[in-house]
Amino acid sequence: MSLGERSCYCGEVRESHLNQRLILKGWVRRRRDLGSLVFVDLRDRTGFVQLVFSEDRDAATFLAAKELRPEFVIAVEGVVKLRGEKDANVHLATGAVEVEVAQMDVLCEAATPPFPIEDDALVSEEMRLKYRYLDLRRPFQNQRIVARHRLMQRARKQLSSEGFLEIETPFLGKSTPEGARDFLVPSRLRAGTFYALPQSPQLFKQLCMVAGFDRYFQVVRCFRDEDLRADRQLEFTQIDIEMSFPDEEMVMGVAERLTRALFEEAGLTAPASFARLTWAEAMERYGCDKPDTRFGLELGTVSEVAAKTEFGVFRSALDAQGAVRGLAVPGQANISRKELDALNEVVKPFGGKGVVSLMRRNGALAGQALKHIGEGPAAAMLAAVGAKDGDLGLFVAAPYETACACLSALRLYFRDKLGLVDKDHHALLWVHRFPMFEWSRDDNRWVARHHPFTMPREEHLDMLESDPQKVEAQAYDLVMDGNEIGGGSLRIHSGKIQRKVFRALGFSDEEAQDKFGFLLEAFKYGTPPHGGIAFGLDRLAMLLLGCESIRDVIAFPKTTSGLCLMTQSPSEVEPKQLEELAIEIKKSPPRSHDPKEGN
RNA sequence: GGGAUCGUAGCUCAGCUUGGUUAGAGCGCCGGCCUGUCACGUCGGAGGUCGCGGGUUCGAGCCCCGUCGGUCCCGCCA
């Protein structure tokens, strides 16, 4: 058997190969040794097929088969035989046949893996990440990476077919003040200066429009040095899109066709239509700018009724210009005291002091705070959130945004607790008309909610200086099942407006010139109106493939503390490397990443 | 930066509430037997710095403090 020869993949062997002599290669999945008959499952990325070794074929090969262990890499030559009705395995694609092995090469022996290479093996994520190459060898994890490949190729095909050009942009770029924390890369040739890895190719794709490419896309890695989450990694992949002369509808159209294509590629049915909500509507109805619209439990505001009560909780919130908001949970009027207490824990992380509950059981009002609120107002509050007999009304009194966040959390809590969504059903939703700015308490100034290159709505341009909080952006997010999967905007293409926005953000003209001078310069030479969108590929793949974590669709992800458990990065570097970069380390790093070593 | 939770055999876990001979289970691993297995069966065996450091105690896997690491969340991030 020569190294390059292979008849087909293991998972592809069928009855059509009957009596053919095949050369197969793969990993030993399992050996079943019956004494003078040995079965071996041979696995590769397509599945596995049963090999049979028997004494009366070839004694040497048979004895070698007895020495096989899980994960040995072998090559075999043998004849495909029908298993017969009694011995066939109906659960396997290859189960009707088996390969009678005449010859075998052990290409590589294997140590016993730290965990079984099986889908149903229970393995901690720590183990999976440390031995990622073994985790990826497991069929289901392997398939996720294959599926991600398909999604990427489909995206490229779809966008190319609409005339978009895939253009690469630099990874070594310029640090920009807005947005996330940059990853810095020290320059050796100009020691003391730094490149920044791109948070996104935002400015380069805009410059592609200035260059006249008209339609650009890129499947591109982005880097943000912020804390990680189940759906956030330090580096992640965007499907980045930009086009010239669009209106919002055109960008949304491109995005919708792409989304439908990706749903199809994943074997899912996209919802018939993409719903649309303004940001203000989303906050009012769901308390969230990326609502899960697959179920009800919509929010209501009861501030007016609450203002008529003497209830201290309501009074103090309303006196501080806050709101009393609530929602109705159908059929939960008989919720236990213990379960109600648990709700307080749900809202705590979002700044809520507590949840006020009212309910109507068999016509009678109930609730701990009922005596403070009074029957009349209580009935009105329940009516206002649509609570009927047998329903539970939950209310939060707090600043408007806090009340929204708390009730949104309660919505999701009951979604999961009561199983309100069908996992096979998906919702796609555009949220648009975002506020252009939000107030940063840390920086004591306005910051761009999307980014500083977003075009404000034309009719709001006059308010940039006078009423920045009222300015709406021509920005839009695509939301799937309560997750933001993409976001974009029409961009500013005039230096004049761009300077006004920089000023609203508190940049002096000098700062703007220093940080974004190249953009303002480019805008002088004929810039087409342009806009675009970027999809978070990892997050979208996660949702389309039904994964719980973004790490499941990334071949080599990092832990939530930004470590690679496989390579032990980040790590210290040689003093010589630091010298070349003219860098001195002030603080000694933690001594170990290895949990087995500790201190 | 903060909160929650977890760390015991190669893996997944029990033991911790109430500190007390020699720390258990399943799977895996090693060896014997077995011609139709496919979670093969069967008989036998090996395997532990209880993440790490310190403290309390006559005595710590168990209690306390710190630390490292995994996960989830808030802040942060779009």
Instruction: Supply the pLDDT for residue A590.
Output: 65
Phi and psi, residue A159, nearest 5°: -70, -40
For residue A350, give the nucleotide whose C1' atom is nearest its CA: B74
User: What Å value separates CA A70 and C1' B27?
Assistant: 15
Which burial class, exposed, middle or buried, applies to A111 when counting CB atoms under 10 A from its CB (0-12, 13-18, 19+)? exposed
Candidates A31, A103, A2, A21; CA nearest to A62 is: A103
Instruction: Supply the pLDDT for residue A589.
Output: 66
Average pLDDT over chain A, rounded to whole?
Answer: 94
Distance, CA of A81 to chain centre: 46
Distance, in Å, from the CA atom of A543 to the CA atom of A536, rounded to the nearest integer, reads: 11
**What is the enclosing helix (H) or strand (E) of A337?**
helix A337-347
User: What Å value separates CA A598 and C1' B58?
Assistant: 30
Distance, in Å, from the CA atom of A263 to the CA atom of A141, rounded to the nearest integer, reads: 20
Distance, in Å, from the CA atom of A48 to the CA atom of A25, rounded to the nearest integer, reads: 10
Instruction: Supply the pLDDT for residue A597.
Output: 41
For chain A, which residues score pLDDT lower than 50?
594-599
Residues 257-316 of A with CB under 7 A from strand B: 289
Q: Is the CB of A120 under 7 A from strand B?
A: no
For residue A37, give the nucleotide whose C1' atom is nearest its CA: B35
Confidence (pTM): 0.94
Instruction: Supply the pLDDT for residue A62.
Output: 96
Return the nearest residue to B42, CA–C1'. Answer: A34
Bases in strand B with any atom closer than 7 Å to a protein CB: 1-2, 7, 10-13, 27-30, 33-41, 49, 51-53, 66-78
Residue A279's identity, in one-letter code, is W
A565 to each of A124, A128, A162, A455, how far by Cα in Å? Answer: 13, 9, 41, 42
Q: Is the CB of A590 under 7 A from strand B?
A: yes
The residue behind tokens 């989450």 is A229
What does the block give as tokens for A145?
């990476």
Residues 131-190 of A with CB under 7 A from strand B: 179-181
Q: Is the CB of A564 under 7 A from strand B?
A: no
Residue A417's identity, in one-letter code, is K
What does the block give as tokens for A569?
């990065």
Q: Is the CB of A86 under 7 A from strand B?
A: yes
Return the nearest residue to B66, CA–C1'. Answer: A599
For residue A100, give the nucleotide whose C1' atom is nearest its CA: B36
Q: Is the CB of A130 under 7 A from strand B?
A: no
A483 to each of A412, A477, A492, A535, how far by Cα in Å? Answer: 12, 10, 27, 12
Residues 8-67 of A with CB under 7 A from strand B: 30, 32-37, 39, 41, 50, 52, 54-56
Q: Is the CB of A463 under 7 A from strand B?
A: no
Question: Cis ω on the peptide bond leading into residue A570 (within 30° of 0)?
Answer: yes
Instruction: Note whether ipTM > 0.85 here.
Output: yes
Strands A530-536 and A235-244: antiparallel
The residue behind tokens 């140590």 is A111
Q: Is the CB of A229 under 7 A from strand B?
A: yes
Instruction: Supply the pLDDT for residue A358.
Output: 96
Distance, in Å, from the CA atom of A535 to the CA atom of A256, rounded to the nearest integer, reads: 11
Taking only the tens place, the pLDDT of each residue in A337-349 is 888 988 999 999 9
Q: Is the CB of A565 under 7 A from strand B?
A: yes
Residues 398-457 of A with CB under 7 A from strand B: 405, 434, 442, 449-451
User: What Å value separates CA A27 and C1' B13?
Assistant: 29
